[in-house]
A and B are shown apart, each in its own frame.
Chain A
Amino acid sequence: MRTPSESTTGSRPPRTGGPGGRDSRGPGGGHGRPRDRRVYHRRKVCRFCTDSSIKMSYKDVDTLRYFVTERGKIIPRRITGNCALHQRALTVEIKRARNIALLPFMVTES
């Protein structure tokens, strides 16, 4: 990977566009450790898998709210860390809750 070298010499002009350009800033950050191999990331686990006691239901708005932004959008699973199975089930429940006015479709900022 070219991330370590790039983090040290951030001002280097030749930068191939496309996907590589993305991680130019992320890993090394400020501290000058060139051999930082690991990008810091939080271990994400699906909270529905770990805790089977949480029941997903459109009636349980408080749980659903956790997976919705302030504007009412569904948070992608790359952020929440849900597994695909539960994310799919979750979107269905959120959409049901929206239909019956328990959750907003959209929140406009005033």
Chain B
Amino acid sequence: MKRYETLFIVQSELSSDDITAIIDRYSKIISDMKGTVLKVERWGKRKLAYLIRKQSRGFYILMDYAGNREIVAEVERILKFDDKVLKYMSVKLADSITAEEIERELAGQKAEAEAPAEPPATIKPASAAAAAPAPEATTEG
């Protein structure tokens, strides 16, 4: 197993439901081919450095996954056909990733996901408030 990440740009006008559908679609392709999705990041709408298909804005999505090269080939093949996708790029992050590392990665994310949920329950409203606007900051105006 190797670790890859694919960053792709979809049209900026899509609704968040559409984007969720796209992410689900590619996650399914990866998991169907016995890969593991480690992380999905939505960078949000960004201005493109140059026009792609006459569009100056795009929605960036990053998928981090473990798998073999067949998965990358398949994901890229589908991305190529997808009209909503403006551009994509895959990068190999690590030559090998063990099952343990995958689990640790997923466990770490779970802990992270649970951590922001906890502070409001305890006595940390300040840090929770600080954490809340952060994800929104990624979307540029």
Contact = CB atoms under 8 A, between A and B. Distances in A.
Interface of A: 58-59, 96, 98-105
Contacts of B88: 100
Given A59-B7, A102-B46, 5 more contacts: A100-B7, A100-B9, A101-B50, A101-B52, A102-B49
Contacts of A104: 49-50
B44 interface: no
Interface of B: prevailing SS: strand
A57 B27 CA distance: 24
Given A96-B89, A96-B91, A101 B58 contact: yes
B115 interface: no
A102 B91 CA distance: 15
B87 interface: yes
B99 interface: no
A58 B52 CA distance: 19
B50 A99 contact: no
B91 A101 contact: no
B49 A103 contact: yes
A16 B48 CA distance: 50
Interface string B68-102: 00000000000000000001110100000000000
A85 B58 CA distance: 33
A1 to B, nearest CB: 45
